[in-house]
Amino acid sequence: MKDTRSNPEIKKFAGTAAARLIEDGMVVGVGTGSTIAFLIEALGRRVREEGLRVVGVPTSFQSRLLCGKLGITVRDMQDCASLDLAIDGADEVDPRLDLIKGGGASHTREKVVAMMAKEFVVVVDETKLVPALGTTFAIPVEVIPSALAFVDRRLRDLGGAPSLRMAVAKDGPVVTDNGQFVVDVRFPPASDLRHTDLDLHRIPGVVETGLFFDLASKALVGGGSPGSPTLRTLTRTA
């Protein structure tokens, strides 16, 4: 479910800029994905070169491995109840800074970490900006495997078109870091996704959705061209 339109150079520019938001002494939620991998690289450099003291709370095995490799101290999510800041990527960002996340199947942990943080900042390249959520991306829904058939039926009853996410370098479905499956659901255009999100949370067997409403306070958006990248900051209004 990863996008193929984004340019890695622009992601790197935005991810590197996001690492500058982190201050000495912070405990920071570290999201997942290719943009966040660039943030982790830049943060590792700041730790080594500036002696920055930070603790990273990774939202995935992938981010944890990278933090460890680059010398960033990590703490388990389960040992945290609050964070100074959380930074993460996204698959879609609408004008209110509501998001679709979960292209890397980590949205459940990512949502917990986003909510734990005093401030949640999203970092993306401009291909992720959409007029309305659901424009390009389906809604990832994490589901416990034993409820798959039931949840699939309920998703169809809600007007969705569900598709079990399949692994690429493994036979069978994607299995999340929580040991669950991901179902990507498309809803008809102009659906009221806030309402749909409440309906999704009422289905037993649904763990979490990739809809992030009212969580991001700011978006760092990379744009321009690889030779001449630009960065703008969007701020949530009300």
CA gap 40, 26 in Å, rounded: 14
The CA distances from residue 133 to 96, 142, 188, in Å, are: 10, 18, 11
Select 113 or 151, whichever has its Cβ closest to ligand 5RP: 113
Q: How far apart are CA 95 and CA 115, in angstroms?
A: 20
Q: Which is nearer to ligand 5RP, 77 or 150 (CB)?
A: 77
110 is catalytic: yes
Scan for tokens 């003291």, then name that residue. Answer: 53
Which span (77-85, 105-113, 145-153, 190-198) binds ligand 5RP, by CB under 6 A? 105-113
User: Rounded distance, CA 81 to CA 66, Å?
Assistant: 23
Q: Verify binding: residue 103, ligand 5RP, rule CB under 6 A.
A: yes
CB of 104 to ligand 5RP, least distance (A): 3
Q: Which of 9, 49, 110, 126 is catalytic?
A: 110
CA distance 152 to 163: 8
| 177 touches ligand 5RP (CB under 6 A) | no
Task: Note every long-range contact of 198-203, with CB atoms under 8 Å and residues 24 or more positions apart, other chains counting.
Answer: 199/158, 200/139, 200/141, 200/155, 200/158, 203/150, 203/151, 203/154, 203/155
Beta carbon of residue 38, minimum distance to ligand 5RP (angstroms, whole number)? 9
CB-based burial of residue 21 (10 Å sphere; 0-12 exposed, 13-18 middle, 19+ buried)?
middle
Place of tokens 């909510």: 115
- Give the binding range for ligand 5RP (CB under 6 A) out of 32-40, 149-157, 183-191, 214-222: 32-40
> Which x/- pattern, by CB under 6 A, does the window 1-30 give for ligand 5RP?
-xx--x------------------------
Angle at 127 between CA 122 and CA 130, to 5 degrees: 80
- Asked whether position 223 contacts ligand 5RP by CB under 6 A, the answer is no
Confirm if 83 and 57 have CB atoms less than 8 A apart.
yes
Nearer to ligand 5RP, 150 or 186 (CB): 186
Q: Which of these ranges, 22-30, 83-91, 152-160, 224-232, lies near ligand 5RP under the rule CB under 6 A?
A: 83-91
Determine the size of the site formed for ligand 5RP (CB under 6 A). Answer: 20
**Which amino acids are annotated catalytic?**
110
Q: Give the binding site for ligand 5RP (CB under 6 A).
A: 2-3, 6, 31-35, 88-91, 101-107, 110
